[in-house]
Chain A
Amino acid sequence: MAVFVIRRLLASVLTLVVSSFLVFVLVANSGDPLSDLRTDTSVGREQKIAHRIEVLNLDQPVPRRYLTWAGGVTRCVVPGQGCDLGRNIRDQEVSVLLTQAAGSTLRLVSAALVLAVLLGVSVGVISSLRQYSGFDYTITFAAFLFFSLPVFWVAVLLKQYLAIEANNWYQDPRVGPFPALVLAVLSGLTWGAIAGGTARRRWIVRGASAAATFGLLSYLSAINWFRYPALGPGLIIVFSLGAATGIAFLAEGLRRRQVLHSCLATAAVGSLGSFVVTPWLLDPKWASWTNLLLLLVLSLLLASGIGYALGGVDKGEAVRASLVTAVVTGFFIVLDIVLRTLPGYADLVGGRVFATIGARTPNFEGTFWEQQLDTFTHLLLPTLSILLISFATYSRYSRSTMLEVMNQDYIRTARAKGLTERAVVLRHAFRNALIPVTTLAALDFGALISGAVITEYVFGWQGMGNLFFSGLIQVDPNPVMAFYLVTALSVAAFNLLADIAYAYLDPRIRLS
């Protein structure tokens, strides 16, 4: 293992050196860094040109400028020297620019990547299990549609409908009978397609879900829930218990009573705990990331205790399933708090909740939860626009690998042994189907950082994409090289991680 990692690292360093030289030379020769000053009619023109030549070392040959840059970078590796990534065309330190840009891009990309993997893989797996059903065709159609949409166009649409129109709606948020009917029909079609089974069963599912949707929307409108949304202890309990059942089913099947019981117990304890926790978390003096983290650790400890106590012969499985249940229950509690914060937040931003631009409201001052909500409303649209496109890739990949795996001989063997369908799909097929998706996710991280250029621009996030783009346009190599360093390093690192993950997922692979 260690030998493998070291060998890979050495190869990566070599690749980095060669490609960084190539990138530097290409950028430095891509145009004229003085072009904007050449048509300048101002009296200080000569002075400005001389200054820029000095800042960018334009009087030196390109290879020497590269060596200057590389010299600064190597100081990052030597401890106690301090990084020097050079200065940009406006004479600002690139290392400072990079820190800020990387922070903003990571926030943007990581949420989108995690969500895209989770959603894409689960939808892909479901559509492979319902191959050639209405659901499968719809997902296939949607995936190709999303994949072919240009980001800047999606962005404009999202801003128009999910921000500007949504904010207009939020002034008096009600769902009228006709929109509710349309949404009910849509919901009926979706659930009916997912359900599968006989025609009769599908019609029952369609009818039930449509009626439930229509009823729920009308009821929520009637009590003005959209203006003052909250889950409340009742819904937290219902949702958590439902989630606990689902988790127990996916993990071990409902026949393993001990697992089911420990999940249900965890959900019950957690949602009852919300009576204590919610007032604490709403207290501005108390709410903070540290305390949230502390609560999470506490609830995980509690969950593993419950799993261990109730697990019986399946202690390991019960503890794992309880842990997941605890996290989901915690999510519902937090969601409840966030929803309760919404009306107050809306007042602070003049009633226009969803943002079209920027990373936060300028000079926003509010409680901990209002701050988080502000970040969330600004992250929502850019994350969605990245998500839509990555989602398409993941769902297609996982669908096709899942189909391939499901047709393998060992799946037939597993079925012949009399295993339940759940065990065959999740234990035997799914795990193997994850291998290609892992490769994809590893490469996708690097690709997302560089691919977020347009997303960042249209949503006003000054991130890595901006660093790269403005550097390239102004023929300013240092910011471009900073961008290159981060993307190249992350691609190298994630490839390594993917190789290690293969070994974990597939016992046939040994790294040494």
Chain B
Amino acid sequence: MLINKSAGSRTLALLTGTVLALSACATSNGSAGGAVKDPSARASTSNKTITWAHEQEFSAYNPNTADGNSIANTSALNGVLSGFWQFAPDGSLLPNEDFGTQKKISDSPLTVKYTINEKATWSDGDPIDCDDFLLAWLANSGLTGDKGFDTAQKAGYQDQNKPVCTAGGREITVTYRKPYGDWEGLYGPGLVMPAHIVEKQAGMTKTFVDLASTPSSPELAKAIAFYNDGWDLNPGQLKKELMPSSGPYTIEAWAAGQSLTLVANPRWWGEPPLTAKIVIRYIGGPQQAQALQNGEIQAMDPQPQVDIVKQLKAMGNSIRYSTHDQYTFEHLDFNFAGQFKDKALREAFTKCVPRQQIVDNLVKPQNPKAKVFQSRFIYPFQPAYSDFENSVGGEKYLTADIPGAKQLLAGRKPAVRIGWRKDPAQLNKRRADTIALLQASCGQAGFTVLDSGTPTFFDTEYPSGNFDVAMFAWSGSPLLGDNGDIYVTGGGQNHIKYSNPEVDKLLGQAISELDKGKRNEVIKKVDTILWTDLVTIPLYAFPALFASSKDVSGLEYNATQAELTWNVARWARA
């Protein structure tokens, strides 16, 4: 199974980011942070070009729709559509005061006051105000129903009452019907779209200020149609007049299949970007290293392969490269509806899984810094991880304990079917190798490990529970989701049929807990229970790779779906 990074949800990533990161408020520690005022960066825009290689091509200006919500679009639009905050590399949030500020003014009911920067205008001259904010809320609130706005993320927005603001006003007050701990992570980059364009294209006689309270109004039907499809683009065919910018860059040119060009937005009111032109070139991962060596690109972050790492190493001093952890982790899940409802059997299997060996053999060649992954919620690059790493229970199962497993099995010789998505056309070699290591190690303990991988694993075997242990990856954080929960009894994604009332209660608490420190403690309790119950075995975070030429600065790998372009305005080339 190939995990698509785009699958990571904003909301989910946020929970770990905003709420759990102990230093979530540490906005000033990012040296290259979007809103950080660095006096030395006051320099004006240089006339240079920086080219970044990316594998997936841009396809839509609206990153909110089901179609448009892909990493290809969000990464291109980071510098074009601003929001009230931006993801930092460690998953925490950096406020973007160029765009506006958000402030909680009441806990009960949860009330947040948003203030859009008074200088903020779309690059076509229209001010950014109440109208745009109301469109963002209405589109994501889910109020227009199945035939309505086709947005991909509704959590949080659907708990909000209609935001209060006046036409042309830049102060908006939002009250919640129920507490939502993740309130800080709403209205981020790409959320606020130009309402005046929608109104004009849909031929509306009223504005969203008038219509937001009547979501069923027929006047909205055309607006919905435009919002959902009007910003989808055929390759190379920009609709510039429909795509104004609210960020430091505007989209200038698109050569189909080749490149997308961003240039500095002449109407940008904030700190000027350091580089006048940013080119995103569409190049397959294995081809990027030679392009970097030949000076055709200046930065790359492909899916890591051992060969690419070797190539980069061989280039020596002419480039810089580094390896990282991705926001995606691999794990083994026990099926509680089968033989593994027996805790002793789960423990025996957990003991024979050679986690350290899997990381050493299969992940370290691509990321020498990789460690065995211990949490299900917090990633190694997040400050809070050190609090989880050696205290939630996973530290007991680092290396295989064959005698211990044998003892628990007490002479039983169970067969274990490992289910995973094994597609011969796109064979995930790391998973095939993991199976081999499991067979060798658990075979000694007395298990017969069967490779039950199928191309149809997620369509049939996994939902119907036809496996003993499932092996796959979750991207982003697996904690929350309005479409069901992985560890909650009866949750939509709980195909392993795990049930623990304590976990259900704690997760419910975590979602509505507004205090970050407290929420962190709750999550830690959940993680600990999941280790005690031996529900899933986290293995490793996916490795990531970043390389750049020596003459560029300001680029910093970002594990979230914000991608490398999160701070594009601070990229500089010597």
Contacts and interface: CB of A to CB of B under 8 A. Distances in A.
Given A42-B476, A100-B236, A460 B284 contact: yes
B32 interface: no
Interface string A30-59: 011011111111111111101110000000
Nearest to B4: A36
A156 interface: yes
Contact of B459 (A38, A462, A466, A473): A38
B428 to A, nearest CB: 12
Interface string B452-487: 000110110000000000001111111001110010
B421 interface: yes
A100 B235 contact: yes
A462 B69 contact: no
Interface string A65-76: 000000000000
17 contacts: A35-B458, A36-B7, A39-B458, A42-B69, A43-B153, A51-B67, A92-B233, A96-B235, A163-B294, A164-B293, A355-B294, A356-B294, A359-B257, A362-B51, A362-B255, A363-B279, A460-B283
Interface string B232-259: 1111110000000000000001011111
A91 interface: yes
A12 interface: no
A52 B65 CA distance: 12
B9 interface: yes
Given A356-B291, A460-B282, A104 B257 contact: yes
B257 A42 contact: no
B481 A38 contact: no
B558 interface: no
Interface in A442-491: 457-463, 466, 472-473
A362 B475 contact: no
A41 B475 contact: yes
B281 A358 contact: yes
B279 A461 contact: no
Given A31-B423, A47-B151, A39 B296 contact: no
B183 to A, nearest CB: 15
B295 interface: yes
B287 A362 contact: no
A356 B296 contact: yes
Contacts of A362: 51, 255, 258-259, 261, 279, 281
Nearest to A92: B234
Contacts of B253: 363
Contacts of B259: 358, 362-363
A47 B65 CA distance: 9
Which of B284, B286, B476 has the most A CB atoms < 10 Å from its CB? Answer: B284
B406 interface: no
Contacts of A140: none
Contacts of B69: 42, 44, 48
Interface of B: 1-4, 7-12, 49, 51, 57, 59, 66-67, 69-70, 150-155, 229, 232-237, 253, 255-259, 261, 277, 279, 281-284, 286-287, 290-291, 293-296, 421, 423, 425-426, 455-456, 458-459, 472-478, 481-483, 486, 493
A167 interface: yes
A458 B233 CA distance: 26
Contacts of A264: none
B95 to A, nearest CB: 23
Contacts of A44: 9, 66, 69, 151-154
Contacts of A462: 57, 235, 256-258, 282
Contacts of A359: 255, 257-258
B435 to A, nearest CB: 18
A159 B257 contact: no
B7 A357 contact: no
A363 B254 CA distance: 9
A440 B281 CA distance: 37
A360 interface: yes
Contacts of B293: 164
B290 A164 contact: yes
Nearest to B72: A90
Interface string A341-353: 0000000001010
Contacts of B459: 32, 34-35, 38
Given A32-B458, A48-B66, A356-B287, A43 B155 contact: yes
Contacts of A156: 290
Interface residues of A, number: 56
Given A159-B294, A350-B295, A39 B151 contact: no
Given A156-B290, A352-B295, A42 B7 contact: yes
Contact of A35 (B1, B235, B476): B1
B284 A39 contact: no
A31 B423 CA distance: 9
Contacts of A92: 59, 232-235
B283 A40 contact: no
B474 A41 contact: yes
A291 interface: no
Contacts of B458: 32, 35, 38-39
A34 B456 CA distance: 11
Contacts of A356: 287, 290-291, 294, 296
Contacts of B49: 363
Contacts of A40: 4, 7, 9, 475
A358 B7 contact: no
Interface in A149-169: 156, 159-160, 163-164, 167
Given A39-B3, A100-B235, A31 B455 contact: yes
Interface string A59-93: 00000000000000000000000000000001111
B476 A41 contact: yes
B261 A363 contact: yes
Which 5 residue pairs are nearest across A and B when measured between Cβ atoms? A462-B257, A44-B152, A42-B9, A40-B7, A362-B259
A47 B155 contact: no
Contacts of A461: 257
Interface in A418-459: 457-459
Contacts of B4: 36, 40
Contact of A97 (B10, B154, B235, B283): B235
B384 to A, nearest CB: 20
B257 A100 contact: yes
B308 to A, nearest CB: 12
Given A42-B153, A42-B481, A97-B234, A360 B258 contact: yes
B279 A43 contact: no
A126 B423 CA distance: 49
A15 B74 CA distance: 44
Nearest to B59: A90
Nearest to B423: A31
Nearest to B426: A473
Nearest to A357: B291
A96 B237 contact: yes
Given A35-B1, A44-B69, A358-B259, 8 more contacts: A35-B458, A41-B486, A42-B8, A42-B153, A45-B483, A92-B235, A164-B290, A363-B49
Given A97-B235, A104-B257, A362-B51, A41 B296 contact: no
A363 B50 CA distance: 12
Interface string A290-324: 00000000000000000000000000000000000
Contacts of B286: 458
B483 to A, nearest CB: 5
B297 to A, nearest CB: 8
B462 to A, nearest CB: 8
B91 to A, nearest CB: 15
A363 B57 CA distance: 17
Contacts of A51: 66-67, 150
Contacts of B284: 457-458, 460
A32 B454 CA distance: 12
Contacts of A43: 9, 11-12, 152-155, 481-483
Contacts of B256: 100, 462
Contacts of B455: 31-32
